[in-house]
A and B are shown apart, each in its own frame.
Chain A
Amino acid sequence: MNEAVLAWDGQEKAVNHLVQERGQRAVFCGLTSIVWLHRKIQDAFFLVVGSRTCAHLVQSAAGVMIFAEPRFATAVLSDRDLAGMADCNEELDRVVGQVVARRSDIKTIFLVSSCPSEVIKLDLGNAAERLRRTYAGKINFVDYSGSGIETTFSQGEDSCLQSLVKQLPDAGNEDPSLLVLGTLSDIVEDQFRRLFEGLGIGPVSFFPGRAAGDLPPVGPGTRLLAAQPYVNETVRSLQARGATLLRAPFPYGAEGSQGWFRAAADAWQVPVTRFREVIGAPLERARLAVSQHQSQLTGKRITFLPDSQLELPLARFLNRECGMELVEIGTPLFEQQLMQVEKSLLPETVRLTEGQDLDPQLDRVRRDRPDLTVCGMGIANPLEAEGLRTKWSIELMFTPIQGFEQAGDLAGLFTRPLTREAQLKV
C-alpha cells in the first residue's frame, strides 16, 4: 500500500450510523483498570471500598496473578457496616490505617468506590478530604468511582485520571506544552518521549506518570493528545481548565501512529522535512512489521464485541493496514469528540453498535461467522467451542501495542489465533 492510501489525510468523511443497544452487558466494571493502573503508578495504593464481589473481580481479572503483596485491596463491607452498627467512616479510617502501617512506601492512596458503597451513599470524597488532613504531608488521598453502575471497564481509568485533574497545578502561563493521556507501558512511553524530543516538541508530560505525585501543570497552553481512547471525561475536565484537545487518530499501527505524531507536530509547527526525518525510519519499520502479517489477515472477517473502547481504532488499523473486513464493531460507549477521526476512517457501511444486548449480539456472531471475534474472557471459550476463532480483548490492555515499534506485535496478536487454527489437526 502506498503512503497516500495509508496516511491519514486529515479529512473526515461522511458519518456512518451507529446503533444503540440496551440489554445485558458482558463487560467488566471500572474496578478492572486497577489491574494496569497499579502497575503503572508505582507508589500508589488502590483501596476499593466494596464487597467480596469487588475483591473477587479484581483478583479474577488480574488472572489471579499474585504479586508479593499487591498494591491494591478491598475494604469489604459487612453486615455490621450496613446495619449501622459500625460507622463506615471510622471503619474506613481504621482500614486505611492498616494499609499505611503495612506499606510505608505508599505516597498516594486511591479510594475507589464500588456499586455497594455508592448505593449506600458512602461519600468517599469527604473521606479523602478527611484523610488528606490526617496524613497531611505524608500521603495524598484521591477518590474516584470504579463501580459497575457508573463505569465500564477502561472507564475506570478515565474516572481515576479525572479525579486527579483537580490536583494538577496551574501552569500559570500560556506556554505550549504537551500532555499525553492514558496509561502506556514504560517502554512505549520512552519511545514516544524520544520521538517528541526528535521533533522538538516539548515539554511533554505523560498522565498518569510513573509516580502518583507526577502531576503535570495545566493551563491554556496545554495541548492534549489522547494515547488511549477511553479518556473522554479526563479530556473534558482538562478542557475546562483551558487545555485544547489535538484531533488525531489513536497511535495504533503505522498510519495511526503517524497521524498521532503529526497532530502534535502540526500544533508545534514542525517543518514537514523534519517530521519525515524523525518519523521516517520508525514508520518504515512499522510498515514492514505489519506487512509480515498482512497475507494472513487480508480478506479475513472480524467482529468486535464491546469491551474496552479500543474497538474503533483497532478496527481501523486492521481494516486499513491489514486488509481485514469489518463485520460488526461493538463498543461500550462512543464518545464523539475522541472518536470523530477514527469513525471517519472506517468504511461507511460498517455495522457500528454502542452498548450491548448480549444474547442477540451473540446470535449475530453465530450468523455472521467471522474469522475472528474480539471478546471478553467469559465468552471466548464458548465461541471457540462453536468453531469460531477469538481474541481476548483484555490482552490488548496488558500488551504494549501503541506506536510504530509495536505495530507488528499488534497485528501479531490477531494472526496468532488464525495461525493456530491453520496448524491444529486435532
Chain B
Amino acid sequence: MDLTFWTYEGPPHVGAIRVADSMKGVHLVLHSPQGDTYADLLFTMIERENRRPPVTYTTFQARDLGASTAELFLKSLEEACDRFKPQIMLVGDSCTAELIQDQPGSLAESANLPVPVIPLELLAYSRKENWGASETFYSLVRGLLSRSVPAPDWVRPDRSDEKSPSVNLLGPSTLGFRCRDDIKEITRLLGDIGVEVNVTAPLGAAPLDLLRIPEADANVSLYPEVSDSTCTWLERNFKQPIIKTVPIGVSATMEFLKEVTEKLDIELPSQEFPESRLPWYSRSVDSTYLTGKRVFIFADATHAIAAARIAKEELAFEVVGLGTYSREQARQVRTAAKEYGVDPLITDNYLEVEKSISEAQPELVLGTQMERHIAKRLGIACAVISTPAHVQDYPARYSPQMGFEGANVIFDTWVHPLMMGLEEHLLTMFRDDFEFNEKVAPSHLASEGGGIKKDGESVEADSDLSQSANFTWELSAEKELRKIPFFVRGKARRNTEKFASEKGMTVINVDTLYEAKAHFAA
C-alpha cells in the first residue's frame, strides 16, 4: 500500500484507452465499474477532443458480482461491436475487474465476433499508464503482424532503387505531449532530406496501416515510453533498425538526422536549416542574462533527458536537478544526471519532488503540471515540458517540441517566464524608483498577475526554507539585504545564513553579509 496524494500517471488501462483513442477503427471494451468512466474527460476536456474516446465500459455494480458480470461483459461486447463496427476490438480489465477474473480475453473468444479481438493484460496493481499504452500498442502490432513474421534467418533485402527511403514514426498518441505537432514537424524535416514517412502510429493510424509497418526501412522510436517494446519486436522479427535519437533540441535534431541517414544508408544533404533560430537567439546579447540560470527538471524520462541537454548546451543554464516519475526509464535518467553532476530524482511522489525543488533553489522549473503548481507555490518561474499536462498545454497554435521549430518553441517557452534580460537590468538600476520598483511584475507577465512573488511573500517563503529563526539579523544587515535586487535577495539571505551557520554565528551583521558574498562568489 502506498500513500499517494497526486499521481503522475493514471492506471494502465488509461494507457490502453490512449492507444485506442489515437487510432481509427479500434474500439476497446473495458470491464470496469462506473466510476472508471471518468477517463473520458481526460480526452474530451484536457485534449478537447470532439468525440468520445472509443471505449465501452461495462459498468458492473455490486449486485452483478458473482453471478452476472461475465454475461454483462459479453452483452456490452456484442452491443459495442454492433454499434461501432470497429475493425479491431480490444478487450481488457480495469483494476476492479482484474480481481474478479472474468477473463475478458477468453470470453471474447467465445463470442465469435465478426472482427478480430485482441486481449490486453493490463496489470493494474503493478504498472501504470505509459506502460499500459506501450503494452497495448505492442499487443496490437504483434497481434496484426505475427502471422506475417518471416523465418528467423530472413535478411531484409536492400531497398530497390525506385523506392524512396522510408521510416515509420512510432509512439505518438493522444494525451501525449505535443504529439500532433511533433509528427508534422518530423515528417516535414524527413521530407527535406528525402525520407518518406511510411506509417505513423498509433496516432492517426488504422489497423490496415499497422499491417504496412514492415515496408519501411527503419522505425523511429519517437516516444520511447510508448514505442520501445514495439520497435524492439519489429527489429527482431522484421529486421527493421531502430532510430533511437529523440529529436528534441538543436543538437539532438542534427544527431537524429545523422542517425536516420546512417541507418538508411543515404547521404545527409549538406544543407542549412534556416528555420533553426535557437542557436542565434541563444547567442544574441540579450540572452547573456540567461547564463547560469539554475534550472530544475522533472518529467517523463524522454523529455527530462532532452530538456537537460538543451538547458546545459543550448541555453547555458545550470542544471541543478534532474528526475523522472517513469521508473521504467530510470536508468537513462540516472546516466544523464551523472553527466550534469546532480543526484537523479526517481520518484512518483510529488511531495519528494517539491522538497527537492525547494532545496535546490532553482530559478526555473521545467516539469509537468504538478511541478507548475509546486513552482507557483514557491514563487519560481516554470514551463511545462511533459505529461501529465493540463488543458492549456494542448495549445491551439502550432507548437511542436521536436525538430528545429520545436527548439524555437522551446526557446520562447522557457525564456518567457524568466525576467527578460534588459528588463531585469533596468529593474536593478531603478529599484528605488517609486514607480519602477520591485513590486512591479515584469511587464510581459503583468497580464498573468506576475510570475514572481511580491516582496513580503518572498521573504516569508525564504525564511520558511532556511529556518532563519535560528539567526538574528541586525537591523543594518536587514536593511542592506533589502538593497539587493529582490530576485536574488532570497538567495543572498540563504547563502548568508548558510555561511553563518557554517561559522557557528547566530547574529548576522553587514560584514557577515559581504563575507558570505565573497565566500560564495566562486
Q: Show the binding face of A for B, using Cβ within 8 Å.
A: 24-32, 49-57, 59-61, 64, 66, 68-70, 73-79, 81-82, 86, 88, 91-92, 94-95, 98-99, 115-116, 118-120, 147-150, 152, 359, 376-382, 384-385
Contacts and interface: CB of A to CB of B under 8 A. Distances in A.
B48 interface: yes
B390 A25 contact: no
Contacts of B94: 53
A95 B125 contact: no
A53 B11 contact: yes
B2 A378 contact: no
Contacts of B11: 51-53, 56
Given A69-B351, A95-B3, A150-B62, A378 B36 contact: no
A304 B265 CA distance: 61
Contacts of B126: 78-79
Contacts of A24: 56-59, 76
Contacts of A86: 1
Contacts of A382: 44, 49-52
Interface in B450-492: none
Given A28-B37, A52-B128, A378-B38, A149 B65 contact: yes
A115 B35 contact: yes
Contact of A376 (B41, B61, B128, B370): B41
A281 B5 CA distance: 46
A82 B125 contact: yes
B49 A149 contact: no
Given A79-B125, A95-B1, A57 B38 contact: yes
Contact of A66 (B9, B35, B62, B370): B370
B48 A56 contact: no
A358 to B, nearest CB: 9
Interface string B93-136: 01110011000000000000000000000001110100000000
Contacts, number: 180
Interface in B75-100: 76, 79, 83, 94-96, 99-100
A88 B369 CA distance: 32
B44 A149 contact: no
A379 B39 CA distance: 11
Given A60-B38, A376-B41, A379-B40, A52 B96 contact: no
B3 A377 contact: no
- Kindly list the 3 A-B residue pairs having the minimum CB-CB distance in the complex, ordered from nearest: A29-B35, A378-B40, A148-B35
Nearest to A90: B1
Contacts of A55: 4, 6-7
A149 B61 contact: yes
**Residue among A51, A52, A116, A147 facing the most chain B CB atoms (10 A cut-off):** A52
B37 A75 contact: no
A53 B95 contact: yes
Interface string B27-47: 000000111111111111100
B34 A152 contact: yes
A56 B7 contact: yes
B37 A119 contact: no
B38 A115 contact: no
A59 B7 CA distance: 8
Contact of B1 (A25, A77, A378): A77
* Residue in B10, B11, B33, B99 with the greatest tally of chain A CB atoms within 10 Å: B33
A149 B10 CA distance: 20
Given A82-B99, A92-B1, A148-B34, A66 B49 contact: no
Given A56-B7, A147-B33, 7 more contacts: A55-B6, A56-B11, A61-B38, A75-B3, A86-B1, A95-B1, A149-B96
A247 to B, nearest CB: 30
A380 B50 CA distance: 9
Nearest to B351: A69
Contacts of A59: 6-7
Contacts of B40: 26, 377-379
B373 interface: yes
Given A61-B38, A115-B33, A377-B44, A99 B3 contact: yes
B60 interface: yes
A148 B51 CA distance: 24
B156 interface: no
B34 A28 contact: yes
Contacts of A28: 34-35, 37-38
22 contacts: A25-B34, A25-B57, A28-B38, A30-B35, A50-B95, A53-B36, A53-B94, A55-B7, A59-B6, A61-B38, A73-B5, A78-B125, A81-B1, A147-B62, A148-B36, A148-B96, A149-B96, A377-B40, A377-B45, A381-B45, A382-B50, A382-B52
Given A59-B6, A77-B125, A150-B62, A94 B33 contact: no
B226 interface: no
Contact of B99 (A92, A120, A381): A120
Nearest to B125: A79
B377 interface: yes
B494 to A, nearest CB: 22
Contact of B2 (A61, A70, A78, A377): A78
Contacts of B49: 381-382
A66 B34 contact: no
A91 to B, nearest CB: 4
A53 B100 CA distance: 16
Nearest to B389: A64
A205 to B, nearest CB: 31
Nearest to B75: A23
Nearest to A378: B40
A61 B56 CA distance: 20
A154 B217 CA distance: 55
Interface in B115-168: 124-126, 128
Given A51-B124, A149-B61, A68 B377 contact: yes
A49 B377 CA distance: 28
Interface centre among B42, B94, B99 (most CB of A within 10 A): B99
Nearest to B126: A79
Nearest to B14: A56
Contacts of A32: 35, 38
B52 A378 contact: yes
Nearest to A118: B62
Contacts of B390: 64
Nearest to B61: A149
B1 A53 contact: no
Contacts of A376: 41
A339 B373 CA distance: 42
A270 to B, nearest CB: 43
B34 A29 contact: yes
Contacts of A120: 99
B2 A76 contact: yes
Contacts of B5: 69-70, 73
Contacts of A98: 3
Residue with the greatest number of chain B CB neighbours at <10 A, chosen from A49, A380, A382? A382
Nearest to A93: B1
Contacts of A78: 1-2, 125-126
B300 to A, nearest CB: 16
Nearest to B51: A382
A397 B298 CA distance: 34
